[in-house]
């Protein structure tokens, strides 16, 4: 059988094409040619890979005005005197189907953002920087520093707002980190992502990109925030304080919820920002970067029959700080005396131990039960109030990077630096 061949060398990214294969017709935008396949985005929003050798006829209906440079590694879209900067770091929002494996991987070119969300350009001049291509579970504290440095440079160069696209699994770690690393802020830093990859018709990427750009442009706060779906519809997104939010579902569009605080605002598709909170941290006159962190912090989850050996293990490994997600108000199973012995060992080694609550909502309180009073006698134990465990983990790194003495670390951990700690939560702040 003779292989069928069609001319593809003159195809450009975004060309509207019609492809005939036997009795089927495919209409859509040409994405690229790869491994003897033509990748086309159909009108439904889905991408399809068509074997070139099976194509009977290919017609270009309309040429695209978009210039394709997808072969350039780490391509940037640069605008002089940009109003906004998008920093891409990978994750689902920058991913598409790998047709070889059937899996999703971070590989999307930055120009695709403008095609995915055409109204982005209406928000002003936008520079896109491809900083890294990582799934968020692979993010390291050193990556948070890279993101903070890039955001700082963008603001210093005149950007009125910064959007950071990332994976969602550990987005709340990164948004917490930047709340401390960039403080104060003269412009909003907005984290966003998507729960569905960009080549799926049900993707939330387009809405999240646009509403994050509107937030970066119009939000009055000088904060690190998360902008993601408020519900399953596309009407508006929540603007959430980055160090008081958490991913609460594996796949729902509205997975990110505020913890122990109400949303800072709602941002709508028509460009309006409504229901602004009185707790918004206003923009500062300048932005300050403090990149001092100590990565040698570990997290422990308390559980029945835990024992002190896990604490001993980390002390022997010479960690510089620990965060324990305890039960209830901050309880540990102290009938097992090895835990008390291990906490004493940590105290003797000058290792600060922050106590958070697994309940997620509410605050630790060292005065409620006798066991809490017993652990609070140790000079290195720090109860973190209503901070989330993830924020306490990141803040411990920041405190250790800036302080050496236990008493100074305690003071910084218990001080409200960037809105991460509230003295009291309202009744209506639960399960928003």
Average pLDDT of 283-311?
98
Whether 165 sits among the annotated catalytic residues: the reply is: no
State how far the Cα of 39 lies from the Cα of 248, in Å rounded to an integer: 34
Q: Which runs of E-coded beta strand occur in 295-397? A: 297-301, 321-326, 353-357, 381-383
| CATH 3.40.50.40 domain residues, the chain | 297-414
Mean pLDDT of the chain: 91
Q: Is the pTM of this model over 0.85?
A: no
Average pLDDT of 143-168?
97
Q: Which of 85, 89, 92, 287 is catalytic?
A: 92
By the 8 A CB rule, do 232 and 162 touch? Answer: no
State how far the Cα of 262 lies from the Cα of 256, in Å rounded to an integer: 12
Q: Would you state the pLDDT for residue 406? A: 97
Q: Would you state the pLDDT for residue 39? A: 86
Q: How confident is the model at residue 69 (pLDDT cuts 50, 70, 90)?
A: very low
Q: How confident is the model at residue 111 (pLDDT cuts 50, 70, 90)?
A: confident
Q: Would you state the pLDDT for residue 173? A: 98
Give the model confidence (pLDDT) of 320-354 as tens digits. 999 999 999 999 999 999 999 999 999 999 999 99
Q: How confident is the model at residue 31 (pLDDT cuts 50, 70, 90)?
A: confident
Q: Would you state the pLDDT for residue 43? A: 76
CATH code 3.30.410.10 for 297-414: no
**Assigned fold of 16-62:** SH3 type barrels. (2.30.30)
Q: Would you state the pLDDT for residue 352? A: 98
**Is 330 strand, coil or helix?**
coil
Q: Would you state the pLDDT for residue 70? A: 41
- Tell me the CATH class for 84-274: alpha beta
> Is the pLDDT assigned to residue 73 strictly greater than 60?
no
By the 8 A CB rule, do 266 and 248 touch? Answer: no
> Is the pLDDT assigned to residue 96 strictly greater than 90?
no
Average pLDDT of 182-186?
98
Q: Which of 160, 217, 247, 421 is catalytic?
A: 247
CB-based contacts of 103, cutoff 8 Å, min separation 6: 97
Q: Which residue has the higher pLDDT, 110 or 17?
A: 17
Q: How confident is the model at residue 71 (pLDDT cuts 50, 70, 90)?
A: very low
Q: Would you state the pLDDT for residue 98? A: 56
Q: Which of 88, 127, 165, 168 is catalytic?
A: 168
> Is the pLDDT assigned to residue 159 strictly greater than 70?
yes
Average pLDDT of 387-406?
98
> Is the pLDDT assigned to residue 67 strictly greater than 80?
no
| CATH 2.30.30.520 domain residues, the chain | 16-62
Q: How confident is the model at residue 432 (pLDDT cuts 50, 70, 90)?
A: very high
- Judged by average pLDDT, the poorest of 74-88, 296-310, 332-346 is 74-88
Q: Would you state the pLDDT for residue 281? A: 98
Q: Would you state the pLDDT for residue 402? A: 98
Percent of the chain with pLDDT over 70: 92
Whether 92 sits among the annotated catalytic residues: the reply is: yes
Whether 203 sits among the annotated catalytic residues: the reply is: no
Q: Looking at beta carbons, which pairs linking 21-25 to residues 24 or more positions away fall under 8 Å?
A: 21/50, 21/54, 21/55, 21/56, 22/54, 22/56
Whether 75 sits among the annotated catalytic residues: the reply is: no
Q: Looking at beta carbons, which pairs linking 246-250 to residues 24 or more positions away fall under 8 Å?
A: 246/172, 246/360, 246/388, 246/390, 247/168, 247/169, 247/171, 247/172
Q: Which of 169, 199, 204, 386 is catalytic?
A: 169
> For tokens 């006798």, what's the residue?
370
Torsional sign, CA 71, 73, 79, 85: positive
Q: Would you state the pLDDT for residue 35? A: 77
Q: Would you state the pLDDT for residue 72? A: 43
By the 8 A CB rule, do 347 and 380 touch? Answer: yes
Q: How confident is the model at residue 216 (pLDDT cuts 50, 70, 90)?
A: very high
Average pLDDT of 136-150?
96
Q: Which runs of E-coded beta strand occur in 185-223? A: 189-192
- Judged by average pLDDT, the poorest of 75-79, 315-319, 372-376, 377-381 is 75-79
Q: Would you state the pLDDT for residue 2? A: 46
- Judged by average pLDDT, the poorest of 197-206, 265-274, 291-300 is 197-206
Average pLDDT of 135-151?
96
């Amino acid at each position: 059988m003779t292989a069928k061949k069609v001319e593809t060398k003159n195809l450009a990214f975004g060309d509207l094409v019609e492809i005939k294969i036997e009795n089927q017709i495919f209409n859509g935008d040409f994405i690229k040619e790869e491994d003897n396949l033509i990748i086309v985005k159909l009108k439904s929003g889905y991408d399809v890979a068509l074997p070139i050798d099976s194509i009977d006829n290919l017609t270009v209906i309309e040429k695209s005005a978009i210039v394709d440079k997808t072969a350039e590694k780490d391509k940037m879209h640069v605008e002089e005197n940009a109003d906004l900067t998008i920093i891409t770091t990978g994750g689902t929002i920058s991913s598409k189907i790998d047709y070889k494996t059937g899996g999703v991987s971070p590989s999307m070119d930055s120009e695709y953002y403008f095609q995915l969300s055409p109204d982005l350009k209406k928000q002003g001049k936008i520079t896109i920087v491809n900083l890294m291509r990582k799934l968020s579970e692979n993010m390291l504290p050193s990556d948070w520093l890279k993101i903070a440095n890039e955001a700082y440079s963008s603001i210093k160069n005149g950007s009125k707002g910064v959007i950071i696209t990332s994976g969602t699994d550990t987005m709340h770690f990164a948004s917490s980190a930047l709340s401390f690393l960039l403080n104060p802020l003269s412009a909003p830093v907005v984290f966003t992502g998507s729960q569905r990859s960009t080549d799926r018709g049900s993707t939330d990427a387009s809405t999240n990109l646009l509403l994050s750009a509107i937030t970066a442009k119009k939000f009055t706060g000088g904060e690190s925030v998360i902008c993601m779906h408020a519900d399953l519809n596309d009407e508006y997104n929540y603007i959430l304080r980055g160090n008081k939010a958490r991913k609460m579902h594996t796949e729902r569009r509205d997975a990110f919820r505020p913890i122990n605080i109400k949303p800072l605002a709602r941002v709508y598709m028509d460009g309006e920002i409504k229901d602004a909170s009185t707790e918004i941290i206003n923009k500062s006159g300048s932005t300050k970067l403090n990149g001092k962190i100590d990565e040698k912090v570990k997290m422990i989850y308390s559980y029945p029959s835990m024992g002190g050996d896990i604490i001993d293990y980390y002390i022997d490994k010479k960690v510089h700080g620990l965060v324990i997600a305890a039960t209830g108000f901050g309880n540990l199973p102290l009938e097992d005396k090895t835990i008390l012995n291990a906490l004493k060992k940590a105290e003797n080694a000058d290792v600060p131990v922050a106590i958070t609550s697994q309940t997620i909502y509410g605050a630790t309180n060292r005065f409620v039960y006798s066991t809490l009073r017993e652990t609070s006698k140790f000079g290195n134990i720090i109860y973190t109030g209503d901070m989330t465990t993830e924020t306490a983990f990141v803040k411990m790194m920041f405190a250790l990077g800036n302080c050496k003495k236990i008493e100074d670390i305690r003071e910084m951990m218990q001080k409200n630096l960037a809105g991460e700690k509230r003295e009291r939560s309202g009744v209506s702040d639960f399960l928003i």
